[in-house]
């Protein structure tokens, strides 16, 4: 056998240790090269002294290959680490010029390319798809006026009212620093401790303990911008909007037992479903709508539209459909596209602007900041998935991983040395809406943010019997994993403020009937009665 190997090796010139033959790939005309373009003669054996001798530091080919491998990983996202994405397009149904001057909403002909990433929030990049969690729903519109990112979630409200609390919220839900578990969304002493000390979380907790937190498929999830935004038309008129995505397939969930079994049997359940659907031509679709309301209307509501723990009931402000998104192309490379994409709520276009929601304002800072360390260079906007598909030019220069090769000596603005260099444009450029602002500078939560239970109650009473059963089961399962009795009794006290029967049913399942703490709401809980159920489409 050794002789045979030696004969074959003599023909190919390709030896392994002890004389065994390594197969050479016969496919392809493209030679394998180093990063410098040098054709590699032997990609199987390290340079050594004699067949069994020491390996040489000189082997720059082996060192280059291993060095690159050693640096293959980049940090995962600090939240929303596990995600899946696809390309597609957005098309408006008609002109929405009355509402906004945003170019991609001016007519029914324009097809705007999009890239859309869905994600879980708390788990690491390798965590299972069907964990109980909020889902991210982030869309990058490559418009003719620059990239517009609508960075939303599959639930219309959020846990906290102010960005300064976000690091604490996320620390409480991520694995504990000493033991690095648990991985799952809410089975934490730290999480339940944090939210039970932040009653503003109660409305969001109702959503997270409901079927909405265990979706059947990315294709069957709603999406929400959460915050109040502004839209501004050519005349400079501003309206407030809330964004909604609705899937054409309808909104569906799995039930908890299914979610747990699927987590074990196929942790890639959602990404497999999504990839297969697109690959087989069943392109997922969503309708984008807005709730439009004026500043005067906003002042009439008995909640504050700047408070991200509140939604605007559709009985008060119905949805205005804007257009449709179709996702019709899987990525070519997961890392290059899905992992390196950088969404940012501050990526807006003329005609779309922010509100003073204190959570949104913090987000406007956080994303670019984190992406500088996640992607490692201030030039990550040059990565193809992040690059605008319209012309872009400025005088930002140099920095790690600079891929552009600007010519000329001028890198300042204004200048009189290069007439062809980019110039600001007051008419076409982005102008912040001229909102009148005044007041004392201080750290103070507005009193209008103080009602933490009424909309949580509205959510509860709008649920069908099976949905209510699932919510009770969700709280009982998660609080059952919480080791501290004082946290459980505190949570039962909050639930009693939402609805006494909810608290009683959870307490009974926990074997803690009658043990709820008394928690005094800051403002009286209102009994909001919806004229129709707000959510009829979750699967029972
Ligand atoms: C991702 C911060 C609230 C939706 C992220 C990332 C950070 C972050 C640092 C990682 C970004 C990256 O590495 O590329 C914050 C802060 C928040 C906040 C500071 C509150 C103060 C929210 C809210 C929503 C949301 C309210 C939904 C409306 C998302 C989504 C992603 C994300 C969808 C994943 C984007 C992707 O797919 O790459 N957030 N977030 N976040 N956030 Fe937030």
Best residue for ligand 1 mutational test, from 345, 363, 374, 383 (most atoms within 8 Å of Cβ): 363
The H or E element containing residue 242 is strand 238-247
Residue 80 falls in the annotated catalytic set: yes
Confidence at residue 536, expressed as pLDDT on a 0 to 100 scale: 40
pLDDT value of position 526 = 87
Supply the pLDDT for residue 91. 98
Query: Which atom of ligand 1 has the smallest separation from the CA of 138?
Result: 33
CA–CA dist 315, 502 (Å, integer): 25
Question: How many CB atoms within 10 Å of residue 49?
Answer: 9
Q: How many angstroms is it from 473 CA to the middle of ligand 1?
A: 28
The ipTM value here is 0.94
Q: Which of 87, 96, 153, 452 is catalytic?
A: 153
Pocket of ligand 1 (CB under 6 A): 77-80, 83, 117, 119, 136, 138, 151-153, 158, 163, 166, 226, 341-343, 359, 362-363, 366-367, 370-371, 374
Intra-chain end-to-end CA distance of the chain, in Å: 66
Q: According to DSSP H, which parts of 28-127 are helical?
A: 60-70
Q: With H, G, I as helix, E, B as strand and everything else as coil, classify residue 224.
A: strand
Span 61-83, pLDDT tens digits: 999 999 999 999 999 999 999 99
pLDDT at 471: 98
Cα 154 to ligand 1 centroid, rounded to whole Å: 13
For position 413, what pLDDT does the model report?
94
Q: What is the mean pLDDT of each run of 10 residues along the chain (540 residues)?
A: 59 50 61 96 96 95 97 97 98 98 98 98 96 98 98 98 98 94 80 98 98 98 98 97 98 97 97 98 98 96 97 96 98 98 98 98 98 97 98 95 93 95 93 94 94 97 97 97 96 98 98 97 82 41
pLDDT of residue 538: 35
Could you give the CA distance from residue 290 to residue 95 in angstroms, rounded to a whole number? 14
What pLDDT sits at residue 200? Answer: 98
Report pLDDT digits (tens) over 386-396.
999 999 999 99
Q: Which protein residue has the closest C-alpha to ligand 1 atom 34?
A: 80
């Amino acid at each position: 056998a050794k002789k045979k190997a030696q004969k074959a090796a003599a023909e190919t010139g390709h030896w392994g240790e002890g004389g065994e033959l390594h197969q050479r790939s016969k496919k392809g005309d493209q030679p394998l090269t180093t990063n410098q373009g040098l054709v590699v003669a032997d990609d199987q054996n390290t340079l050594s002294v004699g067949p069994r001798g020491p390996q040489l530091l000189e082997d720059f080919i082996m060192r280059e290959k291993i060095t690159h491998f050693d640096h293959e990983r980049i940090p995962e996202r600090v939240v929303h680490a596990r995600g899946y994405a696809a390309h597609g397009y957005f098309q408006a149904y008609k002109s929405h010029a009355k509402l906004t001057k945003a170019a991609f909403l001016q007519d029914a002909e324009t097809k705007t390319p999009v890239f859309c990433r869905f994600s879980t929030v708390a788990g690491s990049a390798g965590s299972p798809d069907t964990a109980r969690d909020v889902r991210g729903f982030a869309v990058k519109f490559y418009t003719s006026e620059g990239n517009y990112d609508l960075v939303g979630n599959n639930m219309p409200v959020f846990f906290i009212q102010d960005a300064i609390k976000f690091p604490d919220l996320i620390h409480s839900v991520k694995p504990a620093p000493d033991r690095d578990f648990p991985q799952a969304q809410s089975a934490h002493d730290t999480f339940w401790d944090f939210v039970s000390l932040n009653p503003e979380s109660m409305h969001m907790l109702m959503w997270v303990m409901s079927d909405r937190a265990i979706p059947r498929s990315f294709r069957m999830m709603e999406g929400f911008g959460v915050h109040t935004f502004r839209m501004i038309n050519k005349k400079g008129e501003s309206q407030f909007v809330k964004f909604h995505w609705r899937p054409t397939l309808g909104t569906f969930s799995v039930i908890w037992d299914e979610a747990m079994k699927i987590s074990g049997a196929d942790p890639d359940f959602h990404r497999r479903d999504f990839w297969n659907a697109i690959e087989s031509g069943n392109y997922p679709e969503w309708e984008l709508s807005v709730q439009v309301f004026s500043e005067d209307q906003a002042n009439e509501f008995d909640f504050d539209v700047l408070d991200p723990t509140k939604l605007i009931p559709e009985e008060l402000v119905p949805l205005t459909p804007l257009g449709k998104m179709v996702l019709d192309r899987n990525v070519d490379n997961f890392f290059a596209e899905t992992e390196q994409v950088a969404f940012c709520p501050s990526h807006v276009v003329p005609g779309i602007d922010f509100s003073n929601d204190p959570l949104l304002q913090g987000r406007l800072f956080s994303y670019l900041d984190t992406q500088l360390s996640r992607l490692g260079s201030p030039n990550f906007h040059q990565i193809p998935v992040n690059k605008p598909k319209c012309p872009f030019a400025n005088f930002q220069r140099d920095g790690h991983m600079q891929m552009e090769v600007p010519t000329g000596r001028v890198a300042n603005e204004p200048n009189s040395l290069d007439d062809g260099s980019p110039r600001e444009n007051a008419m076409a450029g982005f102008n912040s809406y001229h909102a009148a602002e005044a007041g004392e500078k201080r750290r103070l939560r507005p009193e209008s943010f103080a009602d933490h239970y009424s909309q949580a109650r509205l959510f509860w009473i709008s649920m069908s019997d099976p949905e209510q059963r699932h919510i009770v089961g969700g709280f009982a399962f998660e609080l059952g994993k919480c080791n501290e009795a004082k946290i459980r009794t505190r949570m039962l006290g909050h639930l009693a403020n939402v609805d006494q029967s909810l608290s009683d049913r959870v307490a009974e399942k926990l074997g803690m009937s009658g043990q709820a703490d008394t928690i005094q709401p800051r403002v009286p809980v209102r009994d909001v009665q919806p004229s129709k159920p707000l959510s009829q489409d979750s699967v029972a």
